[in-house]
């Protein structure tokens, strides 16, 4: 019985009565008769100052043309053929002796692969373009080229001392 009463109540609320239609029509007519609300004014366009970009006189930020390397400063030679001892870090190379006397002194350097190489002034060794400037009985003196952090290169003195047996 409760179910029958609930269904009957729902059926009455779904169906409209003929008396509701004039009220609905009157409401629609009233809403349509109202004046439309005013529109917001359009925003005022700002005038921007024109800027002429003239990059012809400025340096290209993606090239190395601005570095001191192209202005005659120090830099490694990219066309120079690398020598065998340039594949090893400088601290992994050991001076094990010398051959000769005076200006003809040649240093003996042992690489990590346990091969001994003969080097003289002007030769390169180490991974930082280290050029040998002098060979002495107890050490090898060289100058390395290291980046200065600003696009250029600095010379850094280094040496390899004779290994004590």
pLDDT for 157 beyond 90: yes
- CA 160-87-64 angle, to 5 degrees, is 100
| Structural element, H or E, at residue 118 | strand 116-119
The predicted structure's pLDDT at residue 13: 52
Overall pTM > 0.75: no
Q: Give the residue, 13 or 42, on which the prediction is more confident.
A: 42
Work out the mean pLDDT of the chain and round it to a whole number. 83
Lowest mean per-residue pLDDT among 24-28, 69-73, 117-121, 147-151: 69-73
The predicted structure's pLDDT at residue 103: 81
**Band of residue 113 on the pLDDT scale cut at 50, 70, 90:** very high
pLDDT for 110 beyond 90: yes
125-87-95-110 Cα dihedral, nearest 10 degrees: -140
138 near 59, Cβ under 8 Å? no
Taking residues 96-124, what's their average pLDDT?
A: 92
pLDDT for 165 beyond 80: no
First to last CA, the chain: 113
For residue range 47-66, what is the model confidence (pLDDT) as tens digits? Answer: 888 878 777 777 776 765 54
**Band of residue 19 on the pLDDT scale cut at 50, 70, 90:** low
122 near 134, Cβ under 8 Å? no
Indicate the SS3 state at residue 162. strand
- For residue 104, give both structure tokens: 């003809």
């Amino acid at each position: 019985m409760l179910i029958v009463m609930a269904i009957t109540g729902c059926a009455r609320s779904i169906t409209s009565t003929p008396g509701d239609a004039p009220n609905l029509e009157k409401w629609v007519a009233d809403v349509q008769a109202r004046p439309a609300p005013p529109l917001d004014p359009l925003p005022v366009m700002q005038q921007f100052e024109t800027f002429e970009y003239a990059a012809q006189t400025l340096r290209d930020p993606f090239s190395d043309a601005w570095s001191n390397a192209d202005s005659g400063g120090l830099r490694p030679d990219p066309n120079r053929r690398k020598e065998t001892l340039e594949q090893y870090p400088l601290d992994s190379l050991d001076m094990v002796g010398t051959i000769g006397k005076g200006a003809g002194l040649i240093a003996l350097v042992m690489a990590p692969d346990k091969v001994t190489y003969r080097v003289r002034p002007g030769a390169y060794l180490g991974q930082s373009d280290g050029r040998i400037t002098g060979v002495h009985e107890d050490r090898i003196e060289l100058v390395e080229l290291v980046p200065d952090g600003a696009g250029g290169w600095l010379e850094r003195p280094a040496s390899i001392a004779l290994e004590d047996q």
